Structure 1
Amino acid sequence: MAVFGTNDAKVLMPRNIADGMVKASKTLSTVARLSPREPQRFGTTDYITFNDIPKMEFVEEGADKASQGTSFGSVTAKPHKGQVTLRFNEEVQWLDEDYQLGILREVADAGQTALSRGLDLGLVHRINPLTGTVINGWDNYVTATTKRVVRSAGVDADAEVRAAVGLLVNDSKTVNGFAIDPKLSWDLAGLQALSGGQPTGTPRYPGLGFGTDITDFLGIPSAQGDTVSGLPEAAADTRVRGIVGDFQNGIRWGVQRELPVEIIRYGDPDGQGDLKRKNQIALRLEIVYGWYVFANRFAVIEEAAA
């Protein structure tokens, strides 16, 4: 049976391909590597928060038990729909099934990269990956934090990381993750041990190698990726080089809908011209993320404005 039937409007991607796509998407995203995905229903999802942390009381035998005042609040994770549309010559419909499955694998390869980078760019920067521009209507994203360390000439990169961690620790916030741009990891890997205030030629952090795949820095789980800076999708460099913070509890995100691949045979679904006129079909892959970010639980390391 052909994968691209002439009458079907939807195609269910073969399970082995779909599972691989979801798995690879997770390994490509810095957010997904540091922050656990959780189940979410479609639509807005409310999370209950304590405004005052409850405290246990030790009670002596026969003594009265005291109560304490507390209050509840809530935050809302909103859905964000993403899509990838790819065009092919319509002759693909007439090819054998093995070749059509190969096309689906290509779609999966492109989709896993696009979907994982889209999660980072939206949740961290509120950037639309296709246009590279900021989505002004979004007000909940990681880099909205006011805790920021601006890099300075002559200051070692590890001192700047410590300064960012200090902003959180001194505000009683937890640090359990470090998203790092390759430019910053290269700087960290290039630092030399000092003796008498002078470089010794010995790497200060030999475990970093060339800084090409950092998974841990000074005991903090780390994930490296160029989505930290927003490039190359961003219309302009965000100047962000590192993000430290509470990735375990400061981000609540999940996939609300993993939609099948849609076959589009008519119209102009992406502004690139009429499909029938161009003898093309389009395949569209969609996903719905939901997330909420507690931005005050994160600190940003960034380059100074030019």
Structure 2
Amino acid sequence: MALESTKVTLPSNVALAITKKAKDTSTIAALSPSTPQLFLDDKFMVFSGQSEAEVVAEGQKKGSYEQTLTPIVGKRFKVVTTTRINEELKWADDDAKLQIIDSIQSDQAAAMGRALDYVVFHGLDPKSKTELEGYSKLRDTAIQVNAKDDDVSSLDALAEAVSDEYDINGIALSKTWAASLRKLRVPATGMRLYPEIPINLQVGGLDGIPASTSGTVNGRLCTTDTNVLAFLGDFSLIKWGMVRNITSEIIEYGDPDGVGQDLKHYGQIAYRTQAVYSYTVLDPQGIAVLKKAA
């Protein structure tokens, strides 16, 4: 049976699998204290603050507590990934289709995960390498910390910069700074000073806090050097999720990704997956960014 050239909504279990795979390619998702989930409301997503509780003695008159809350609306952006494959795969049987879908899911979910970091950290479209209009950059709105003469002092300055209102529960490292920190040794023993620093996206540790390393932190795809070495702070302030529906379609004709190659002419079909993210940063001042000298 041939694959149909129609757009389909992926089942919720498949869509959830994509969301979880995105976690493996995004430092934001990796350091989020909560498990990424699909947001059922596809109209809007609102994040509001939390009021404080009043402690009163038994029988004591209860005072009033009022707090003006300004809802923060999540910023939406659509991610599209298009994969060209040989048209012979149209006639694959059902078992082969499942394997094809799983492989494409893994590849496209990785791209979706990287897109989350690029949009939130740098306001960048990773495919075109152009800045997105109307999107703030966490690298500019977070607390700015200049790198010191040595890495230990830089780490201390980064931690001191975060407001005492927030907990430090994560650090996203550029690959460059992660490598530099891993080279630090204890003079007396020669052991690594920070042995748990990850050199891949798997979450490790740094001074007892979760740490994740990726080229998305400094913006490897950015056309100009961002000078970013790391983000540290309360990553629970970054609220994000995928908004249903996640759709996929098989495209058999035309030039869907604008590369100047007609699908029919080259004997190809294209597999396109689309998803919509929504995110917000509740308070950028709960996160500090370390930058090297320009």
**Does TM-score exceed 0.5, indicating one fold?**
yes
- Larger mean Cα displacement after TM superposition, 127-136 or 208-217: 208-217
Deviations 1:67-122 (A, max 9, x none): 23421211000221101011233333235555544433331232121111111111
Corresponding position of 1:42: 42
| Matched position secondary structure for 1:28 | coil
Instruction: Give the Å deviation of 1:211.
Output: 5.0
Assess if the C-alpha contact under 8 Å between 2:169 and 2:209 holds in 1: yes
| Matched position secondary structure for 1:183 | helix
Q: TM-score, normalised by structure 2?
A: 0.85
Corresponding position of 1:59: 57
Q: Does 1:184 align with 2:182?
A: no
Q: How many residues align?
A: 288
What is the percent sequence identity of the aligned residues? 30
Q: 1:94 to 1:38 in 2, by over 3 A?
A: closer
Corresponding position of 2:146: 150
Query: Partners in 1 of 2:214 and 2:207 — Cα distance?
Result: 18
Query: Partners in 2 of 1:166 and 1:22 — Cα distance?
Result: 34
Deviations 1:165-206 (A, max 9, x none): 111145x3321111112211222221123xxxxx44623525
Assess if the C-alpha contact under 8 Å between 1:121 and 1:127 holds in 2: yes
- Larger mean Cα displacement after TM superposition, 129-138 or 84-93: 84-93
Query: Partners in 2 of 1:209 and 1:66 — Cα distance?
Result: 49
List alignment gaps of at least 5 residues for structure 2. Answer: none
Q: 1:64 to 1:95 in 2, by over 3 A?
A: closer
List alignment gaps of at least 5 residues for structure 1. Answer: 194-198
Q: Does 1:229 align with 2:218?
A: yes
Correspondent of 2:255 among 268, 273, 277: 268
CA RMSD of aligned residues (A): 2.7
Assess if the C-alpha contact under 8 Å between 1:77 and 1:292 holds in 2: yes
Q: TM-score, normalised by structure 1?
A: 0.82
Query: Partners in 2 of 1:14 and 1:42 — Cα distance?
Result: 16
Deviations 1:252-283 (A, max 9, x none): 11110252320112233221233334433211
Letter in 1 for 2:271: L
Instruction: Give the Å deviation of 1:126.
Output: 1.2
Q: Does 1:132 align with 2:132?
A: no
Query: Partners in 1 of 2:17 and 2:68 — Cα distance?
Result: 44
Assess if the C-alpha contact under 8 Å between 1:43 and 1:78 holds in 2: no
Assess if the C-alpha contact under 8 Å between 1:148 and 1:302 holds in 2: yes
Output aligned runs, 1:1-306, within 5 Å.
1-2=1-2, 4-5=3-4, 8-10=5-7, 20-35=17-32, 36=34, 37-40=36-39, 41-49=41-49, 53-59=51-57, 61=59, 63-139=60-136, 141-152=137-148, 154-155=149-150, 157-170=151-164, 172-193=165-186, 199-200=187-188, 202-205=190-193, 207-208=195-196, 215-231=204-220, 233-248=221-236, 250-273=237-260, 274-293=262-281, 294-305=283-294
| Matched position secondary structure for 2:235 | coil
Letter in 1 for 2:80: Q
Q: 1:98 to 1:82 in 2, by over 3 A?
A: same
| Matched position secondary structure for 1:68 | coil
Instruction: Give the Å deviation of 1:235.
Output: 2.0
| Matched position secondary structure for 2:180 | helix
Assess if the C-alpha contact under 8 Å between 2:198 and 2:204 holds in 1: no
Q: 1:25 to 1:60 in 2, by over 3 A?
A: closer
Query: Partners in 1 of 2:264 and 2:134 — Cα distance?
Result: 35
